[in-house]
Amino acid sequence: MKKILILKAGSSFLELKTQKGDFEDWIIAASGKSSKHFKVLPIDQINSLHLDQKPFAAVLITGSHDNITDNPPYLQNTYTLLKKLREQMVPILGICFGHQLLAAAFGGRVTNLKKGPEFGAVKIKKTSQAQNDRLFAFLPQEFWAFMSHQQTVQKLPPKAITLASSPKDQNAAFYLEPNIWGVQFHPEFDQQIMAFYLKHHFNISDKEAKSLLLPCPQASAVIPQFLEKVL
């Protein structure tokens, strides 16, 4: 069976990695699958890939502490890879930075959030177009998800469909044919991970953080649901 590629766009904080592992570990844990089903590739090593006809069963793109608007050096090579994967009809799910990366690769635009960073447990609302989406149909009309971002997909790629919004982000999730999804929220985060980001990334006190750490079981199901639908 072909492996699932995790395109590792960045790393988390060293202290958190020591406690909980890194982005790719959280994705694998959330998937419910053994690590043997996955290949992890740092984004700056994509030139090592030799793409035959549909080399991977699916691709997941991690978050990152980088900003798209800073034009990191790996961007153009990554865009080329994503376009090739789309031509091969490989299913892709981008998470947070990965969501923004997909949008930018296919003609969308990423900017800073106008209302400031969005973090903690946030209520996500589905659009009417999400009701019949293969990935989003199982989710309730409103659900809680962990957010940790200061940039947004301000403009979707041509022909992309908005699947969900949040209080600060009108494009909190999107779909692009034939089988590409982006989610600005973090289905791989648990409460411990989110608590760490609130304290160390957003400088939120422990007292303030309590109201931002609601359980997010529906969002957590997005990764296994993605793999179930596309494999």
Q: pLDDT tens across 90-147, in order? A: 999 999 999 999 999 999 999 999 999 999 999 999 999 999 999 999 999 999 999 9
Give percent above pLDDT 90 in the chain: 95
CATH number of residue 59's parent domain: 3.40.50.880
pLDDT in tens, 38-91: 999 999 999 888 777 778 999 999 999 999 999 999 999 999 999 999 999 999
Helical axes 75-87 vs 97-105, angle rounded to 10°? 70
| CB-neighbour burial class of residue 125 (10 A; exposed 0-12, middle 13-18, buried 19+) | middle
Domain tally, the chain: 1
| SS3 assignment, position 231 | coil
Q: Which domain holds residue 165?
A: 4-230
- The beta strands (E) that lie in 64-221 are given as 92-95, 109-112, 118-126, 142-149, 151-155, 161-166, 169-176, 180-183
pLDDT of residue 55: 86
Is 228 considered catalytic here? no
Cis peptide before 178 (omega within 30 of 0): yes
| Residue among 96, 118, 149, 216 flagged as catalytic | 96
Residues in the chain: 231
Of 145, 114, 11, the closest CA to residue 65 belongs to: 11
Q: Please give the Cα distance from 174 to 144 (Å, whole number).
A: 17
Catalytic residue among 99, 118, 149, 188: 188
Kindly report the number of other CB atoms within 10 A of residue 79's CB atom.
15
CB atoms within 10 A of CB 103: 27
Report the SS3 class of residue 124. Answer: strand
pLDDT of residue 54: 74
* Catalytic residue flag (residue 96): yes
- Of these residues, 24, 99, 149, 186, which one is catalytic? 186
Q: Is 107 left (phi over 0), alpha (psi -120 to 50) or beta?
A: left
What is the Cβ-side half-sphere exposure of residue 184, based on CA atoms within 13 angstroms?
36
State the pLDDT at residue 53: 73
Average pLDDT of the chain?
96
pLDDT tens digits for range 179-197: 999 999 999 999 999 999 9
Other CB atoms closer than 10 Å to residue 182's CB: what's the count?
29
Rounded to whole angstroms, how far apart are CA atoms 178 and 139? 20
16 membership: H or E segment, kind and range = helix 14-20
